[in-house]
Amino acid sequence: MLVGAGGNIAVQIGDEGVLVVDTGVAAMGDKVLAAIRKLSSKPIRYIVNTHLHPDHTGGNEVIGKAGSTTAGGPTSILSHENTLSRMSAPLGKPGAAAPASWPTDTFFPEEKDFFFNDEAVMLYHDAAAHTDGDAIVFLRRSDVVVAGDIFITTGYPVIDSQSGGSVQGIIAGLNRILDITVPKHEQEGGTYVIPGHGHLCDESEVLEYRDMIVIIKERIEDMVKRGMTVAQVKAAKPTLDYDLHYGADSGPWTTAMFIEAVYGDVSKALNQKPAAAPKPAPAAPASKGKK
């Protein structure tokens, strides 16, 4: 695990070469490459991107050019197909990135696996989580899960709605990680989980994080069912008991933004269940036209 270059980076090394999961921000590309070179002088064969954001894909160009496939071509950069679609959008569109950093190899179904350095490398796609192109990487023999931004220890999960993310998908992704991980003893140790941002974890920390998101989502869901507006929900502070640890009043992802995103997702989900429950009748305007 390499830290300090944007999103966390995982490096798997062995006789066949090097596999890198995520590449940090572009400005740190050379430093990341130097750090990888300290671990192994073998060719960098694969880069896997957990999703499109530039703090996870910015080093693709520098690190990709430094490596090669066994056939002599440039390093294979692997991602879910939705990640490539968004990165290859016309410049100026959200998610668009320079062609040199684009994935060269994509997978579309839910899972992909291949064998490298004596271990199975498993990729799992969770639709509509942090984005709609997330890949969780499981290094099966090493017993390490690389979570991408579905799991971060530095704050509430970032739901990139513009790139197809949703709180329901985040929970599904965390549940998948919990399916994979096995604790060693008294809920400690065992499978390691590298979060998208923050410190190295084991299953117990993912479990706590999952439970927190579920609790907050259920609180907000309950408020939406009672007809509360997003302003009223924010004022009711549904995250209060977790804010000390995860909240933020400033920066790119504030507590208010998190609450708004969850509010939007649960409202949409409730509206999609026609007449599932009789609506309480506060004098709220019909919200049928809501997107």
Q: Are 57 and 50 in contact (CB under 8 A)?
A: no
Select 53 or 176, whichever has its Cβ closest to Zn ion: 53
150: CB partners within 8 A, 6+ apart: 126, 129, 130, 134, 136, 157, 170, 173, 174, 177, 196
Q: What is 50-80 written as a DSSP string? A: SSS-HHHHTTHHHHHHH---TTSSSPEEEEE
Residue 22 in contact with Zn ion, rule: CB under 5 A: no
Select 128 or 224, whichever has its Cβ closest to Zn ion: 128
Select 57 or 191, whichever has its Cβ closest to Zn ion: 57
Select 29 or 157, whichever has its Cβ closest to Zn ion: 157
Please report how close the Cβ of residue 56 comes to Zn ion at its closest, in angstroms.
6
Residue 53 in contact with Zn ion, rule: CB under 5 A: yes
Pick the stretch among 69-77, 99-107, 148-156, 229-237 that binds Zn ion (CB under 5 A): 148-156
d(CA 212, CA 262): 13
Residue 112 in contact with Zn ion, rule: CB under 5 A: no
d(CA 180, CA 106): 23
| Single-letter amino acid code for the residue at 219 | R
Pick the stretch among 30-38, 46-54, 168-176, 246-254 that binds Zn ion (CB under 5 A): 46-54
Select 50 or 75, whichever has its Cβ closest to Zn ion: 50
Residue 203 in contact with Zn ion, rule: CB under 5 A: no
Q: Are 23 and 57 in contact (CB under 8 A)?
A: yes
Select 53 or 234, whichever has its Cβ closest to Zn ion: 53
Residue 149 in contact with Zn ion, rule: CB under 5 A: yes
Please report how close the Cβ of residue 176 comes to Zn ion at its closest, in angstroms.
17
Please report how close the Cβ of residue 270 comes to Zn ion at its closest, in angstroms.
27
Alpha helix positions (H), 106-202: 167-180
Among 200, 140, 212, 268, which residue's Cα sits nearest to residue 1? 200
Residue with tokens 């499981």: 138
Pick the stretch among 53-61, 110-118, 214-222, 274-282 that binds Zn ion (CB under 5 A): 53-61
d(CA 289, CA 64): 46
Pick the stretch among 30-38, 142-150, 243-251, 262-270 that binds Zn ion (CB under 5 A): 142-150
Q: Are 34 and 44 in contact (CB under 8 A)?
A: no
Please report how close the Cβ of residue 134 comes to Zn ion at its closest, in angstroms.
9
Please report how close the Cβ of residue 9 comes to Zn ion at its closest, in angstroms.
13
Residue with tokens 């609450």: 259
Size of the site for Zn ion (CB under 5 A): 2
Residues that bind Zn ion in the complex, under the rule CB under 5 A: 53, 149
